[in-house]
Structure 1
Amino acid sequence: MQTNENAAMPAVGTMVLDKRRDRVGEVMQTTPSRVFLRAFGGGREWIASLEDLEPVGVAEELRARVATVNAAQRWRP
């Protein structure tokens, strides 16, 4: 994401990196100054500032999706 006032707001459903928390999250909702994120596959939402976000590459998005699937497999009986 850009760090100026004209920064593009990420679209709902896209994956972004919250650089402040070093977490990849899916955009759930946006406001003019904040973005609501949730880990792919569910979990508790968190709020990030637009300037703390950057788009993720294919590798980072795939890594987040695989981690979610692996975590779900561990909880199966």
Structure 2
Amino acid sequence: MASNQQTRPGIGELAQDSASGRVGVVMGEVGGRVQLRPVRGGREWDAMPGNVVRLSAREELSARLAARNGNSRVGL
């Protein structure tokens, strides 16, 4: 595999839906679509597999930090 190719993120990993720009946790695949759930929890959404991309280490850290900060503001 070439170094510029990325494998699709697995269940439980963070990924971005490039069509919407949203970041979520990969929950599974149903009916040919990848199901993602927001990092802070909430309702899943479906994304086309070709639009689901793995986050870089920096992007993942940023997404997790934003979720943690959001949770601390609401007392979680």
TM-score range, shorter chain: 0.7 to 0.9
- Relative distance call for 1:9 and 1:39 in structure 2 (3 A) is same
CA RMSD after TM alignment: 1.5
Please give the residue correspondences for 1:1-77 in structure 2 after superposition, counting only pairs within 5 Å: 9-31=8-30, 33-76=32-75
Q: Which amino acid is 2:70 matched to?
A: A
Offset, 1:32: 5.9
Q: Distance in 2 between matches of 1:26 and 1:19?
A: 14
Give the aligned length: 69
Q: Distance in 2 between matches of 1:46 and 1:24?
A: 11
Offset, 1:11: 1.4
Unaligned runs of 5+ in 2: 1-6
Which sits farther off after the overlay, 34-43 or 8-17? 8-17
Unaligned runs of 5+ in 1: 1-7
